[in-house]
C-alpha cells in the first residue's frame, strides 16, 4: 500500500501567520490517465473531515482561497496564507491513485 | 442538500459482527459511489471499502476476509457488515460520498463503535 508521510506532525501558529504542511508519498501519485489523485482534508475538533483541496491544487467549493495546494509525483504541499482561528484542527492528505486509498497520519494545527 | 448518516450499535462484543447502515439523501446511489472509512481514536482514517455507483464493490485487502458492503437503492441505504470484531476495531466509522476526481467530498457525522465485553 502507498504510505503518505506528513510533516510536521504538529504545527503551532499565530493568527495571520502563513504555514505549510508536507505530504510525501512512497510512490508516484501520477495516474496513467494523467491525473494525480492527491487530496487534502481538514478535521476540526469533534467534527467529521471535510474536503479542502482535490487533485493536488483544486479548491473545493466554499473553501477560502487562503488555502492552496501544490506538488507533483511524490511531494505535495498544503499552504495556508494567513491562519484564522477556524483553521485549527488536523489536516490529512489522502491518495486515490493506487488501491487501496490511503491517508496520511495527519498534521495538527494549533494556536501558539 | 447532500447528507449521509450512519446508524448502528455503539457497543459490540469481541468476536461478534458489526452491522452499520448509511442513509443518504440529496444524491442517488446509482450515480455516486459511497465508501466506508474508519478512524481509531486519535489516529488517522483508514479506507475500508467502497460501493460503486454501478453496484460493484471494492475492499481494503487488510479487511476483505471480514468485510461485506451492500446496498438498497430503493431506500437510499448502504450497509456494512464486518465479522470477528476485536478490540482494535474500536473507533469512529464514517460513510462518505466518494467521487474519483474529488475523493471523499461529503462525510456523515460518524458512529462511535466500541468493541468490548
Q: Is B61 helix (H, G, I), strand (E, B) or coil?
A: coil
Q: Report how far residue B50's alpha carbon sits from residue B52's, in angstroms, rounded to the nearest whole number.
A: 6
Residue A65 has pLDDT above 90, yes or no: yes
pLDDT at B38: 98
Partner residue opposite B102 with nearest CB, options A51, A102, A103: A51
Hey, of A56, A61, A103, A104, which one would you mutate to test binding to chain B, going by the most B CBs within 10 A of its CB? A103
pLDDT at B100: 85
Residue A105 has pLDDT above 90, yes or no: yes
Partner residue opposite A103 with nearest CB, options B45, B109, B110: B45
The mean per-residue pLDDT over the stretch A61-72 comes to 97
pLDDT at B110: 98
Q: Residue B42 — very low, low, confident or very high, per pLDDT cuts 50/70/90?
A: confident
Taking an 8 Å cut-off on Cβ atoms, the answer to whether B47 and A100 are in contact is yes
The mean per-residue pLDDT over the stretch B7-22 comes to 96
Q: Is B53 helix (H, G, I), strand (E, B) or coil?
A: coil
pLDDT tens, residue by residue, B50-66: 999 999 999 999 999 99
> Which chain B positions have a beta carbon within 8 Å of A50's beta carbon?
107
Q: Report how far residue A72's alpha carbon sits from residue A82's, in angstroms, rounded to the nearest whole number.
A: 24
Burial (CB count within 10 angstroms: exposed 0-12, middle 13-18, buried 19+), residue B74? exposed
- Contact indicator for B110, B10 with CB cutoff of 8 Å: no
Partner residue opposite B107 with nearest CB, options A49, A104, A106: A49
> Which chain B positions have a beta carbon within 8 Å of A54's beta carbon?
101-103, 105
Mean pLDDT, chain A, whole residue set:
97
Residue A25 has pLDDT above 90, yes or no: yes
Torsion of CA B24, B111, A41, B44, to 10 degrees: -140
Express as a percent the part of chain B with pLDDT over 70.
100
The mean per-residue pLDDT over the stretch A32-52 comes to 97
The mean per-residue pLDDT over the stretch B60-81 comes to 97
pLDDT at A112: 87
Hey, of A35, A49, A60, A98, which one would you mutate to test binding to chain B, going by the most B CBs within 10 A of its CB? A49
Partner residue opposite A100 with nearest CB, options B61, B101, B110: B61
The mean per-residue pLDDT over the stretch B59-85 comes to 97
Residue A1 has pLDDT above 90, yes or no: yes
Q: Report how far residue B53's alpha carbon sits from residue A61's, in angstroms, rounded to the nearest whole number.
A: 23
pLDDT tens, residue by residue, A2-15: 999 999 999 999 99
The DSSP element (H or E) to which A23 belongs, if any, is strand A19-25
Amino acid at each position: 500500500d502507498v504510505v503518505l508521510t506528513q510533516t510536521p506532525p504538529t504545527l503551532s501558529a499565530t493568527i495571520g501567520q502563513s504555514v505549510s504542511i508536507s505530504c510525501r508519498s512512497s510512490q508516484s501519485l501520477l495516474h496513467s490517465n494523467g491525473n494525480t489523485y492527491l487530496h487534502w482534508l481538514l478535521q476540526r475538533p469533534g467534527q467529521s473531515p471535510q474536503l479542502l483541496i482535490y487533485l493536488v491544487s483544486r479548491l473545493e467549493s466554499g473553501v477560502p482561497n487562503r488555502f492552496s495546494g501544490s506538488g507533483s509525483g511524490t511531494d505535495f504541499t498544503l499552504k495556508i496564507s494567513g491562519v484564522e482561528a477556524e483553521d485549527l484542527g488536523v489536516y490529512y492528505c489522502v491518495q486515490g491513485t493506487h488501491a487501496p486509498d490511503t491517508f496520511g497520519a495527519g498534521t495538527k494545527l494549533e494556536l501558539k | 442538500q447532500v447528507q449521509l448518516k450512519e446508524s448502528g450499535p455503539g457497543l459490540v462484543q469481541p468476536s461478534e459482527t458489526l452491522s452499520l447502515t448509511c442513509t443518504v439523501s440529496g444524491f442517488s446511489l446509482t450515480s455516486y459511489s459511497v465508501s466506508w472509512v474508519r478512524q481509531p481514536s486519535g489516529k488517522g482514517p483508514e479506507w475500508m471499502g467502497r460501493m460503486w455507483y454501478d453496484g460493484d464493490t471494492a475492499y481494503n485487502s487488510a479487511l476483505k476476509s471480514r468485510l461485506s458492503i451492500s446496498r438498497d437503492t430503493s431506500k437510499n441505504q448502504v450497509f456494512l457488515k464486518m465479522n470477528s470484531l476485536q478490540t482494535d476495531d474500536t473507533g469512529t466509522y464514517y460513510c462518505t460520498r466518494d467521487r474519483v476526481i474529488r475523493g471523499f467530498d461529503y462525510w456523515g457525522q460518524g458512529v462511535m463503535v466500541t468493541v468490548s465485553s
